[in-house]
Amino acid sequence: MKTKKDILNLEGIHLSFGGVQALSGMDLDIRRDEILAIIGPNGSGKTSILNSISGFYRPQKGNIYFQEKRINDLKPSKIAAMGIARTFQNLALYTGLSTVDNLLAGRHIKMKQSFLSGLFYFGLALRSEVEHRRQVEYIMDFLELQPYRHQYVGILPYGVRKRVELGRALAMEPKVLLLDEPMAGMNMEEKEDMARFVLDIREAKWESVIKESPAIVLVEHEMDVVMDISDRVVTLDWGKKIAEGTPDEIKEDPAVIKAYLGA
């Protein structure tokens, strides 16, 4: 049910691939300034929700509304420009570019100077370049990436590359931030750092870059992290929502226990 607190709504989403039903009648409301975790066994439809929201998948039925505007048929680039950014379970970085250049690539949707001003590099183009770099420098400080600024991303440790991808998403100034298993493959210290960064984003501790913190949708298998940092948890199984509530409510839900541990 839509409320004024919602920024994004999925209504009756059906998504299938041949005979495989990835999502079946999925309803989901994402509220402003919250961390919503989506959990479930492998193949339950978690990433399919993120791909549907970001335009990589086109649901056969149902509607997706972002700030009350239907976005089902929009291209991923248009959806990103509206304010929906994401990270990927499998890293999608420019491995031959430096850390700072990867973050600057996330600013491309904000680069709106004219051809003429860009050609001669004056006025608006110069001010725009300075502003883009200021934003990127702040994000690099926030995510503690300065030691890696000029290193090629392809040679960085895995946990650092995960931070670079998060930084590139933040550089887009998102209103909704979709995080697809941001802690997968990390050691314990790296997971703790990533959880801290996610909480700081929600608490608007980098407000010089954006005016308001984004809603965060977190797909993650690390249950301890999910229960510690989430405001609300949605549990999926076989493409359907089987439970929704606070972390404490989800821990005790019989349907969730059955989905994870078996009857």
Per residue in 136-194, pLDDT (tens digit) is: 899 999 999 999 999 999 999 999 999 999 999 999 989 999 999 999 889 999 999 99
Give the integer Cα–Cα distance in Å for 9 and 45. 16
Where is average pLDDT lowest: 96-110, 220-234, 249-263? 249-263
Which pTM was predicted?
A: 0.88
**Which residue carries 């997706």 as its tokens?**
64
The confidence score (pLDDT) of residue 116 equals 44
Average pLDDT for 9-35? 94
> How far are the Cα atoms of 19, 62, 110, 172, 215 from residue 106, in angstroms, in the given order?
36, 30, 9, 5, 18
Domains of the chain by range and CATH?
A: 6-261 (3.40.50.300)
8 A C-beta contact, residue 9 and residue 52: no
Phi-psi region of 190 (alpha: psi -120 to 50; beta: other; left: phi over 0): alpha
Q: ∠ CA(172), CA(79), CA(23), 5° rounding? A: 120
**Mean of pLDDT over the chain:** 87
- 3-class state of residue 134 by DSSP: helix
In b/e form, how buried is each residue of 26-36, taking b as 16+ CB within 10 angstroms? bebbbbbebbb
The confidence score (pLDDT) of residue 205 equals 57
Q: How far apart are the first and last CA of the chain?
A: 31
